[in-house]
Amino acid sequence: MVYAIIAGGVFLSDLILKRYMDKKYARKVRHPRLGGRIVLEKYYNKGAALNFMVKRPNLLRIIHTVILVVVGIFSYFLMRLSGHALEKTGVALLLGGGLNNLYDRYTKGHVVDYFHLNFGPKWLRAIVFNISDFCIFIGALLAVAGSEVS
């Protein structure tokens, strides 16, 4: 049950943030925060990370759907096992973030990204993220780390 709450919490929190950004902020206008270390900037991403497959949005939506179905099936069997807390937490974060971005792809035709980091290497500064992206990344790390421990 706790893992469903984690996945649902990720999904709902990012849904609320994306709706807020869509209503309150104009596209491609930068709003520095935390001394300029974080920059809010609404961006509509029709591709995957770094605009990968931006010219093939329908194929990307299919691939995204298939991946989430596989993760969902894996999650179903994983949740039936005792233990595996790290792995389960990772998969819950993956599902919540992945479903939120997929929801955007189906309802809007793009994923709403809304902040980027203004520190680190140039390639990192160029990427616009949303909370789901971080949850997907952290979830994948936790799932892999959890599978190594088991």
Active site residue 133: yes
Catalytic-labelled residue, pool 14, 22, 104, 133: 133
Catalytic-labelled residue, pool 14, 22, 104, 113: 113
Say if strands 31-33 and 38-45 run parallel, antiparallel, or are unpaired.
antiparallel
| Euclidean distance between the first and the last CA atom of the chain, given in angstroms as a whole number | 21
Q: How many CB atoms neighbour CB 17 within 10 A? A: 17
Phi, psi of 84 (to 5 degrees): 60, 35
Q: Mapping DSSP to helix (H, G, I), strand (E, B) and coil, where does residue 36 land?
A: coil
**Which residue from 102, 106, 74, 100 is spatially nearest to 88, judged by alpha carbons?**
74
Say if strands 31-33 and 111-117 run parallel, antiparallel, or are unpaired.
unpaired
Active site residues: 113, 133
